[in-house]
Amino acid sequence: MAGPSYRKSSHTVYDNKFHLVWTTKYRYRILVGKLAQRARDLIREICNELEAKIVKGHVAAEHIHILVSVPPDVSVSKLMQHIKGKSSRKLQMEFKELKKKYWGQHVWARGYFSATTGVVTEEDIKKYIEEHNDEEDEDFTIGS
């Protein structure tokens, strides 16, 4: 099994991965054929703009899953705001049939699912911090 795949920027080394899921508004099953391909391409473009790397993804008829590696200066909410906002606008401009279903409104439902991933557990981090502890029975200690 391979270790973590750290990414580097000018002053940072990181491994921040998130599982993100969002759905179409009203759960309409519109993500098929050319529309699904275009949605995938737009999501790739938007992630590239923010230097977020898609590790794995899946476009289903009414929702999208991505596992994405995100730089530390990009919040999940900022990433999702860009993905959903830009892709919705461009999809509606390019696929006029969406206006019949969405009346010019958003393609994506409000909200999204987000979960972090990683190879270091909370217990590993606690143990690492405790090994640097010179004081006893403290949650937030000062070393000597």
Which residue(s) pair with 122 in the sheet? none
CA pair distance 83, 91, nearest whole angstrom: 12
CA-wise closest residue to 107 among 20, 40, 23 = 23
CA pair distance 80, 82, nearest whole angstrom: 5
Catalytic residue among 6, 14, 26, 128: 128
Q: Is 128 an active-site residue?
A: yes
CA-atom Rg of the chain in angstroms: 20
Query: Identity (one letter) of the amino acid at 80?
Result: M
Q: Which residues contact 29 (CB under 8 A, 6 or more apart)?
A: 61, 62
Catalytic residues: 128
